[in-house]
Amino acid sequence: MIRKDYIRSVLNIFASSPFKPLVMHASKGAECVRKLNESISAFCEGNMEKVELICHEVDLIEHEADVIKQTIRSELSSSIMLPVNSNDLLNFLKPQDSISDDAQDVAFWLTLRKFDASDEIRDELKEFMAKTLETVEMYEVLVSTLGELLETSFSKRDVDETLKLVVKVEEMEHQVDIIEKELLKKIFASEDGINLLGVYHLSKLVIGIGDIADKSEHAADRLRTMIFRR
């Protein structure tokens, strides 16, 4: 359960800067994905008790992200002055919010079945998750620049630096996408060893993890649009 003082603190932060809650929200998403990375490691090691525990932790973090999201939406309906278009901000917030949502879905899916595949797939699944986390953490760095942009009134130098980070997120998501396709091929080629249910479970995990990187790239693109149209 989220405490009332937590909600008040978010409101106070929003009052001091409309971008700080966005940065907080992005950090919650990254925190979910870091926990998911731990869960993937536990899953691959067969530690299902830890997988269950982390699933609960992700649920709590995702709920905190939802509180921040709802606060941002409610405050945007007031007369607060914003340095960007409010609709653009909301369009940016939506895919960013999906990062924690998708991490929560994958964390739950991990609890449903033990890992049962080759060492090669185990290693590549962990690498795939690590690359996804790197993408999300680069996205987290990108969003953290919003405060600097506001403080410098969107100076050309700072805008250019932010846009470079957008490109980095896009490039990293592309690499994740390549790994995802190769990993899915190997999973389906292993049907005889892990049966159809195992193929379905692992492929859904991989697609869900890939969606997290995709949402990071999508949010980065919306952030760029928000900056261009300010």
CATH of the domain at 77: 1.20.58.220
What span, in angstroms and rounded, lies between the C-alpha atoms of 124 and 131?
A: 10
- Residue 202: is its pLDDT beyond 60? yes
Domain span holding position 142: 4-228
Radius of gyration of the chain (CA): 19
- Residue 79: is its pLDDT beyond 80? no
pLDDT in tens, 135-144: 999 999 999 9
* Inter-residue contact 53 to 32 (CB < 8 Å): no
What span, in angstroms and rounded, lies between the C-alpha atoms of 28 and 104?
A: 12
Task: Report the pLDDT value the prediction gives residue 138, as an integer from 0 to 100.
Answer: 98
Its pTM stands at 0.91
What span, in angstroms and rounded, lies between the C-alpha atoms of 149 and 162?
A: 8
The residue with tokens 């060893």 is 193
| Tokens matching residue 82 | 């914003």
Cα atoms in the 13 Å half-sphere on the side-chain side of 32: 34
Task: Report the pLDDT value the prediction gives residue 71, as an integer from 0 to 100.
Answer: 85
pLDDT in tens, 52-77: 999 999 999 999 999 999 888 887 76
What span, in angstroms and rounded, lies between the C-alpha atoms of 224 and 142?
A: 10
Q: Of 17-21, 24-28, 156-160, which gets the smallest average pLDDT?
A: 17-21
C-alpha dihedral sign at 158, 163, 166, 170: negative
Task: Report the pLDDT value the prediction gives residue 56, as an integer from 0 to 100.
Answer: 98
The residue with tokens 């980065």 is 220
How many domains is the chain built from? 1
What span, in angstroms and rounded, lies between the C-alpha atoms of 101 and 116?
A: 26
What span, in angstroms and rounded, lies between the C-alpha atoms of 106 and 176?
A: 16
